[in-house]
Amino acid sequence: MNIFVIKMYNRHSPVRIKYSEYKLRKKERIANIKALFLEHYKDAQTELQYTNLYELLIAVMLSAQCTDKRVNMVTPALFKAYPSTKELSKADLGSVIEFIKSVSFFNAKAKNLIAMAKKVEIEFNGEIPTNQKDLMSLSGVGQKSANVVLGEFLDMNYMAVDTHVFRVSHRLGLSKSKSAIDTEKDLTKAFKENLNILHQAFVLFGRYQCKALKPMCDDCFVAMYCVSKANFKPQ
């Protein structure tokens, strides 16, 4: 029988337990963490402002390495000028840049927005695709962005890992992976269901509670499961 040595609350007196018991404790720990997040964030939603799938996709694309607050400041005028992919596909690059120039990496994002709109018009008959593969075929849309869009708009069971989710999952010992993609796999395997809700719950928790530099540990509902206060970042 395999024996694992795990460190419990008294790190100077590790307890030797059977592998089967270790797996059971790990499973229960994950279940407890999941239940607590679903309880505290049962109505978790993105803070990006949008009214349809097209607007959500654009907001998510702009939010890469940028705050939701900043994105919400530029999108109203952008959506008014380009209410659909039809108008955006014909947009002048300089004009789009003017609308989003306060957003990080605005040059690249402006090019991606126009390219995305052109492909949607040509290959998808002006309709934003609603599956991961087709979404990821659009310019500027990676796996994380596609998962966020599908999870938020269609309640599909996808996990997405940004800096907040990465930090929280590592502080809670849910993943030891160094990349966002591998961390996504770890969380998907651990939680299995409610992934879209848990994604947004982790985002909000990381943004306002489990902050990078000054986490609010004294008032934390999962403090008993925290294994580190380090500021984990994906590589």
Domains, in order of start, for the chain: 26-40+159-225 (1.10.1670.10), 53-154 (1.10.340.30)
Identify whether the C-beta of residue 97 lies closer than 8 Å to the C-beta of residue 110.
yes
Least confident range from 107-111, 170-174, 229-233: namely: 229-233
Mean pLDDT of 132-142: 97
- Tens of pLDDT along 8-23? 444 444 445 454 555 6
- Count other C-beta atoms under 10 Å from residue 73's C-beta: 13
Q: Which of 34, 109, 119, 144 is catalytic?
A: 144
Summary mean pLDDT of the chain: 91
Percent of the chain residues topping a pLDDT of 70: 89
The answer to whether residue 162 is catalytic is: yes
pTM, rounded to two decimals: 0.87
Lowest mean pLDDT among 10-14, 38-42, 133-137, 149-153: 10-14
Judge residue 79's burial from the number of C-beta atoms within 10 Å of its C-beta, 0-12 exposed, 13-18 middle, 19 or more buried: buried
Question: Model confidence over 145-204: pLDDT tens digits?
Answer: 999 999 999 999 999 999 999 999 999 999 999 999 999 999 999 999 999 999 999 999
Q: Which of 18, 119, 162, 229 is catalytic?
A: 162
Known catalytic residue at 144: yes
